[in-house]
Amino acid sequence: MPDHDPSKRAATLRELLQRHAHAYYVLDAPQIPDAEYDRLFQELQAIEAAHPELRTPDSPTQRVLGQVLDGFAPVRHAVPMLSIRTETDTTASGALAFDARVRRELELDDAAPPVEYAAELKFDGLAINLRYEHGVLVQAATRGDGEKGEDVTQNIRTIAQIPLRLRGVAAPVLEVRGEVYMRRDEFEALNERQRALIAQGARNEKTFVNPRNAAAGAVRQLDPAIAARRPLSFFAYGLGDVQGWEVPATHSALLDALAAMGVPVCADRAVVQGADGLVAFHRAIGAKRDALPFDIDGVVYKVNSRALQQRLGFVSREPRWAVAHKYPAQEQMTVVRAIEIQVGRTGKLTPVAKLEPVFVGGTTVSNATLHNEDETRRKDVRVGDTVIVRRAGDVIPEVVGVVSEPSIVPAAPSAAPRPRVRGEPFDLYKQLDGKCPICASAITREEGEVDWRCSGGLYCPAQRKQAILHYAQRRALDIEGLGDKLVEQLVDSGLIRTLPDLYTLRLEQLSALDRMGDKSALNLLERLQSSKRTTLARFLYGLGIRHVGETTAKDLARHFGKLDRVMNASVEQLLEVNDVGPVVAQSIRTFFEQAHNREVVEQLRAAGLAWDEHEGAAVEAAPTPLAGKTFVLTGTLPTLSRDQAKDRIEAAGGKVSGSVSKKTHFVVAGDEAGTKLDKARELGVPVLDEAGLLALLAPAAHR
């Protein structure tokens, strides 16, 4: 809770800011997000503005922070490295306010033409001064406290982008200032390598919270060999000490000149006119912020003309001619209320932190992904912890890490009291008692995999849509027309809960759906009907058992021959199948161990799903109850097509002939049977309907 006594609060804030600034600037291990630091800083500034007597000489508001670490030689800057004023109003009015201030200072009236500005990005790294003497890089220094920094020449020399000799310029002194930063992809790769080192038992390694910390750590790494392995980049944005070189008349021309010398200068910059130009630049960069390969936290506007810059001058160590205009912070601090586990469409279980709602990246966030169990444990996120949440663009908000020492930051007005006790270390299996939170099926995590999964694929409501789409695939049950949109509707309207429900759909239910006429409804019903006649391999594949692709499904069908045998096979028996290893065997076993999955299979069989079964690979010869029998087909059968009927008769050892004779054993007649039926009656050949045929086939077929 904020102290009501301003003098006590100011003292508390000074102490906090000093501690966090030390953690940030000196230790490269920030404990709170920048936005939080800024907020505390502004709170102190406000108190000091209202009560000037509380402003102490050691207040963080009175100087630029940072101090020299033991390991590096101190460097006194020939020209102090200043900072710029930050416009925290992230809307367009931030730019309007700056332009208005500039115009007022320059005493321009409304009739005067717009001021010309150089607009550029505000890179999120650390400031470096590169000193070139006679065109040669002689020293690189950090900003430090602005007056005195650290000599990091060795490390900076490892940055390939930074020229060791300037192209075409040999001035006695030319100091180039800019930002050392790390690209996001390089940052991710670095953390990946760090994780691997930690996994191998490296004690002194750690992962980094964000690219800026990784960059700062690398620049201030005492061992340049390690620094060299941390891929850094650089953009120039200004000058320090200059002797014997004529500085161009505008900032934009200066950047062009630096680029011509071989110094990296960011291409995302523009010369714009007046407030409108600034607003348009802020908006344009805001739109592409997330697509940039590196982090920025805002844009910087600078009065382009050096002459005007000189007229504007400085106030309290900040130039009046420049301002940083921020974007909404992508990282914020909040408290974890609970850790829940979500079930994805594919059964993947994801731990999700339920947060005290916080405004970050432009929206209010109350859930953030913890990715998986290993990540959660690595970061050691627990209920009650204060964490840093990151939301960049459309990316799902994530918990970046735990704030190890939550400060006595005043809670947001809406914040509920924080739990005092930390929760238990995260254990996904224990938390769920081994059961899917949606359907209670067993959860599994395979060796070498990071994700836990629900094994109730067919039954689990979270996986319904995915399961149906998989089942309907051409290579599975081949139900044409049963696509994404339709499945969405069928499930959302409650018409379908599990796969067997597909076979209870009625015409009027279907035609009542969006974009579904009578004709397509009828077509779908027909497709569903014909999907019932399938193969064991397709059926097994259609069940969507994890790791059971088409080929494995075929191998299983060939090996076991009958569904019941697959369902009841032990892991050992499964391992006898071609190409089935322990992971696949266990996955099949687990699937059929789930009562719910078996139930769905039984319901599908009851709905009329059928295929030919045989005795499996061990018994080569298929049963041939119709051996030596000749059949003739005529008319349209209710469910079987002519080809299907023929296939099945032949599979059972029978023959199908085109014309009826005394040698014909059976005529199978459907609707609109023609002269073949008359002939059969004439010759006294037995006539069967479809049901009669199926009965004959029964010993060979499932039903």
CA 111/CA 103 separation, integer angstroms: 11
Name the phi and psi angles at 424, rounded to 5: -75, 160
> Based on CB atoms, which residue is closest to ligand IVH, 99 or 398?
99
Find the shortest distance in angstroms from Cβ 492 to ligand IVH.
48
299 vs 545, beta carbon nearer ligand IVH: 299
CA angle in degrees (0–180, nearest 5) for 526-532-533: 105
Q: Which residues in 294-410 belong to E strands, given as ranges?
A: 296-303, 314-315, 318-319, 322-326, 331-343, 348-360, 363-369, 386-390, 398-402
Quote the distance between the C-alpha of residue 590 and its chain's center.
29
Q: Which is nearer to ligand IVH, 259 or 505 (CB)?
A: 259
Contacts of 570 (CB under 8 A, 6+ apart): 589
Residue 178 or 654: the one with the smaller Cβ distance to ligand IVH is 178
Q: How wide is the angle at C-alpha 647 spanned by C-alphas 645 and 653, nearest 5°? A: 105
Closest distance between ligand IVH and the C-beta of residue 292, in Å?
Answer: 13
Nearer to ligand IVH, 236 or 358 (CB): 236
**Quick one: 324 or 389, whose CB is closer to ligand IVH?**
324
State the nearest-atom distance from the C-beta of 84 to ligand IVH, in Å.
4
Count of other CB atoms within 10 angstroms of residue 250: 20
Name the minimum Å distance from CB 300 to ligand IVH: 4
Helix (H) or strand (E) holding 634: strand 630-634
In the complex, the smallest distance separating the C-beta of residue 268 from ligand IVH, rounded to whole angstroms, is 10
CB of 119 to ligand IVH, least distance (A): 9
Residue 668 — φ and ψ, nearest 5°?
Answer: -105, 115
Which residues lie near ligand IVH (CB under 6 A)?
82-84, 120-123, 127, 179, 237-238, 300, 319, 322, 324
Quote the CA–CA distance of 59 and 306 in Å, as a whole number: 33
Q: How far is the CB of 72 from ligand IVH (least distance, A)?
A: 18
CB of 579 to ligand IVH, least distance (A): 56
In SS3 terms, 114-150 reads as CCEEEEEEEECCEEEEEEEECCEEEEEEECCCCCEEE
**Toward ligand IVH, which CB reaches closer, 212 or 596?**
212
Contact 297, 327 (CB under 8 A): yes
Q: Least distance (Å) from ligand IVH to the CB of residue 82?
A: 4
User: Torsion over CA of 204, 210, 215 and 220, rounded to 10 degrees?
Assistant: -40
Q: Whole-number minimum distance, CB 206 to ligand IVH, in Å?
A: 24
- Annotated active-site residue 485? The verdict is no
Cβ distance to ligand IVH smaller for residue 79 or 522: 79
> Roughly what angle, to the nearest 10 degrees, separates helices 582-593 and 595-606?
70
Cβ atoms of 693 and 668 within 8 Å: the answer is yes
CA-to-CA separations, 160 to 43, 175, 428, 587, in angstroms, rounded: 41, 18, 44, 50
Q: Which residues contact 69 (CB under 8 A, 6 or more apart)?
A: 26, 150, 220
Helices (H), 380-483: 428-432, 464-472
Contact 158, 128 (CB under 8 A): no
144/319 with CB nearer ligand IVH: 319
Are 612 and 700 spatial neighbours (Cβ–Cβ below 8 Å)? yes
CA angle in degrees (0–180, nearest 5) for 146-150-156: 110
CB nearer to ligand IVH: give 123 or 591. 123
CA pair distance 336, 354, nearest whole angstrom: 6
Question: With contact defined as beta carbons under 8 Å apart, do 303 and 115 qualify?
Answer: yes
- What is the per-residue burial (b if ≥16 Cβ within 10 Å, else e) of 125-146? bbbbbbbbeebebebbbbbbbb
Encoded amino acid at 304, one letter: N
Token digits of residue 30:
């920030």
- Residue with smaller CB distance to ligand IVH, 179 or 385: 179
Q: How far is the CB of 237 from ligand IVH (least distance, A)?
A: 4
Catalytic residue, candidates 122, 302, 326, 379:
122
Task: Please identify every residue annotated as catalytic.
Answer: 122
